[in-house]
Amino acid sequence: MPRPSFRAAPVRVRVPASSANLGPGFDAVGLALALYDDVVVRVADEGLYVDVAGEGADKVPRTGRHLVVRALRAGFDALGGQPRGLEVVCANRIPHARGLGSSAAAIVAGVVAARALALGGEETLDDAAVLGLAAELEGHPDNAAACLLGGLTVAWTDEAGSVGLAGRAGAGQPATGQAATGQATTGQVAAGHAGPADAGQAAGHATPGQVPPGSSAPGQAGAGQAAPGQVPAGSSAPGQAGAGQARPGQAAAGHAAPGQVPPGSSAPGQAGAGQSGRAGPAGAGPPGRAGVGQGDGPGPAGPGRAGQGGVGQSGVGQPGARQPGAGRAGPEAGPGRWARAVRLEPSPSLCPVIFVPVSTGSTTRARKLLPEAVTHADAARNAGRAALLVHALTSPDAGPALLLAATEDRLHQQYRAPAMPRSAALVDALRRAGVPAVVSGAGPAVLAFATHGIDLSGYAPRGWTTEPVTVDLAGAAVLPLAG
């Protein structure tokens, strides 16, 4: 790849906040929110200058360790080379460490800015590759997908070897998957090695749903599961999305494979939330390993492998929906897992309200509270709610009662409640009043869906802020410097 040439003029990128999980859609469903960070980047003659205003200005580093700078560097590497110097100015409005996707926003902003600064960057690093790189840095694709694409997204990870959009498998293998009703983009966006199951997860932890090389698994994966079945070369095992079961009778939270299928055999499954047809054969490749992370930020992950074959479709559905094209997903490297996402058009009747505490949370600590297994009954119930969630969030006539049922969760919120008792109490109070409410991401912020004209601020605990927001439909955007 030739070394890129860079624009002399600065670029400005705006990225939205996001709320992941939305109850039962654990590690998969994300909603972009109209609360934005702005990043302005200019290629300089030498050195690095970083300035930060707003959220986190007194805490984040102003060095190469800044998350936007790290994402810029990763983006430039994917584009073929680094500029001599950088000037980076961040205006942050997304609260940090609250479960509103601030780290995903920083990462997506950095990668998109790198692409915008490189001449011909859009041809070299398309949206599929941006999602791959963002998921590699973040460790999971749910927030990154919503931030990049806008609207409502369903993200998952799959074996290396598939790239492009929904309905197309990698390495020349056709897929028969059909897009679900209301789906604005039929594409499954392939991504690079997704690294740890969550930002900052400790080294040595495997990505959920790993299957040993040489085996395949018909995963009954939880709503938001990354890998519904990992397939060795010569085998295929389309998985069932939804419940999060790991074994018959008992499901491992966040695990995708209920059993191992002997080499050379295949296990059919059903497509889950966001898809209406049967999944096609997946590409071959061994499972990815988790990366190393520290604290609440994203840990570095291993490199991904570029996709093979698989020409993506351009998406159909709502006018104006972002339709990412097929493309490579991360740098050419060793075996890995691939992040994918579909974008759905959210119902215009959604009225999100976020409740934000002063206290912060840790995604890593929150994830460590999850059990190794849940009951089959809880997994099955969550599968139904996750499927219902996609319908309720995309159907204009879905009322509060349906959304209340659709946001019920049995996989993660009850186990994390001891670490955020005020968040759990707020969710319970809102739901008892008939208001659909969930912990936003790993918390401690809470997301509720209000009926038009209803003020929910009276439910907020002392010291919390209440902010009605709209759904962001545009995703990450390169904007003019003024305005």
For the segment 361-384, the average pLDDT, to the nearest whole number, is: 84
Confidence (pLDDT) at 442: 87
Report yes or no on 386 lying in a domain: yes
- The dihedrals phi and psi of 147, each to the nearest 5 degrees, come to -65, -40
pTM over 0.85: no
For 263-285, letters b (16+ CB in 10 Å) and e give eeebbebbbbbbbeeebbbbbbb
| Stretch among 21-25, 246-250, 343-347, 396-400 having the lowest mean pLDDT | 246-250
pLDDT at 24: 96
Weakest mean pLDDT among 141-145, 200-204, 387-391: 200-204
Q: Residue with structure tokens 């390169």? A: 478
CATH code of 453's domain: 3.30.70.890
The verdict on residue 18 lying in a domain is: no
Ramachandran angles phi, psi of 323, nearest 5°? -125, 90
3-state helix/strand/coil string of 293-343: CCCCCCCCCCCCCCCCCCCCCCCCCCCCCCCCCCCCCCCCCCCCEEEEEEE
Q: Which two tokens stand for residue 327?
A: 């493309």
Contact of 239 with 290, CB cutoff 8 Å: no
Do 129 and 98 form a contact (C-beta atoms < 8 A)?
Answer: no
Q: What is the pLDDT of residues 83-113, one digit of tens each?
A: 999 999 999 999 999 999 999 999 999 999 9
Total number of domains constituting the chain: 1
The domain in which residue 430 lies consists of: 352-468
- What's the pLDDT score for residue 483? 59
- Please check whether residue 10 lies inside any domain of the structure: no
Residue type, 353: V
Cα–Cα distance, 98 to 356 (Å, whole number): 7
Q: Is 267 helix (H, G, I), strand (E, B) or coil?
A: coil
CA-based radius of gyration for the chain: 20
- Residue 293 resides in a domain: no
Asked if 281 contacts 404 with a C-beta cutoff of 8 angstroms, the reply is no
Q: What's the pLDDT score for residue 227?
A: 37
pLDDT of 276 above 90: no
Query: Tell me, what's the pLDDT at 12?
Result: 98
pLDDT-based confidence at residue 160 (cuts at 50, 70, 90): low
Q: Which helix (H) or strand (E) holds 92?
A: strand 85-92
| Percent of the chain residues topping a pLDDT of 70 | 63
| DSSP characters over 123-181 | HHS-HHHHHHHHHHHHSSSHHHHHHHH-SEEEEEEEETT--SSTTB-STT-B----BPT
Q: What is the mean pLDDT of residues 224-244?
A: 36
Q: Is residue 154 part of a domain?
A: no
Phi-psi region of 442 (alpha: psi -120 to 50; beta: other; left: phi over 0): alpha
Distance between CA 32 and CA 24 in Å, rounded? 17
**For the residues 104-130, what does the mean pLDDT come to?**
96
Which pLDDT band, with edges at 50, 70 and 90, does 52 fall under?
A: very high
What's the pLDDT score for residue 36?
98
**CA distance linking residue 353 with residue 457, whole number of Å:** 9
pLDDT of residue 337: 60
CB atoms inside a 10 Å sphere around CB 200: 22
DSSP 411-470: SSHHHHGGG-HHHHHHHHHHHHTT--EEE-TTSSSEEEEPPTT---GGGSPTT-EEEE--
pLDDT at 239: 36
Q: Can you tell me the distance from the alpha carbon of 429 to that of 449, in angstroms, rounded to the nearest whole number?
A: 14
Rounded mean pLDDT of the chain?
72
- Asked if 145 and 189 touch (Cβ cutoff 8 Å), the reply is yes
Residue with tokens 């490297």: 333
Sequence letter at residue 305: R
pLDDT tens-place string over residues 334-355 = 235 688 999 999 999 999 999 9
Query: Would the pLDDT of 265 be above 90?
Result: no
Domain assignment present for residue 271? The answer is no
- Any domain includes 135: no
Give the pLDDT confidence of 462-473 residue by residue, as tens digits: 999 999 999 999
99 belongs to a structural domain: no
